[in-house]
Amino acid sequence: MNAPTGPARRAAAFQRMRDAHSTEMAEDYVELIGDLIAELGEARLTDLAENLGVSHATAAKVVARLRREGLVDGRPYRALFLTETGKAMAAASRERHRIVHDFLIALGLDELTAEADAEGMEHHVSARTLELFQALTERLTAGQGLRA
């Protein structure tokens, strides 16, 4: 099968971006819920809103969506918990973040910038790009440079 060209290629690229955007918020929320549970022993809606810099109503709306999607469990006015599916999503998001972050650091970027850039990039890179980032990171940190 031939790769799409012209408008079809652009449409496919934009569709991939829309798909990434649709999961980005869910990934950020489940990752943060997992982090809060690890740090504080529980994740509350108030903590989510505060850490994400959003209103309580906004956080509640997103959490309701995550419940419908089977990623989060919990009762009103109680702590939130990740389902097994939510835990898997959070772990995958953390791993993508780590790979992108480590790659940026290996390129020589400072920690603060690498952390900020990785936060957005982790949601938009393909599995193949992540593989290449990881391979190049290993080469760079082993002192082999960009070309082996």
Give SS3 for 23.
helix
Domains of the chain, by residue range, sit at 16-141
Find where tokens 């391979």 sit: 135
φ and ψ of 2, to 5 deg: -80, 150
Residue 57 confidence (pLDDT): 95
pLDDT of residue 1: 55
Q: Which CATH class is domain 16-141?
A: mainly alpha
| pLDDT tens for the 148 residues of the chain, in order | 566 677 877 776 666 666 656 688 899 999 999 999 999 999 999 999 999 999 999 999 999 999 999 999 987 778 999 999 999 999 999 999 999 999 999 999 999 999 999 988 888 888 999 999 999 999 999 887 665 4
Residues 86 and 33 sit within 8 Å (Cβ to Cβ)? yes
Task: Provide the whole-model pTM.
Answer: 0.77
Q: In this predicted structure, what is the pLDDT of residue 148? A: 47
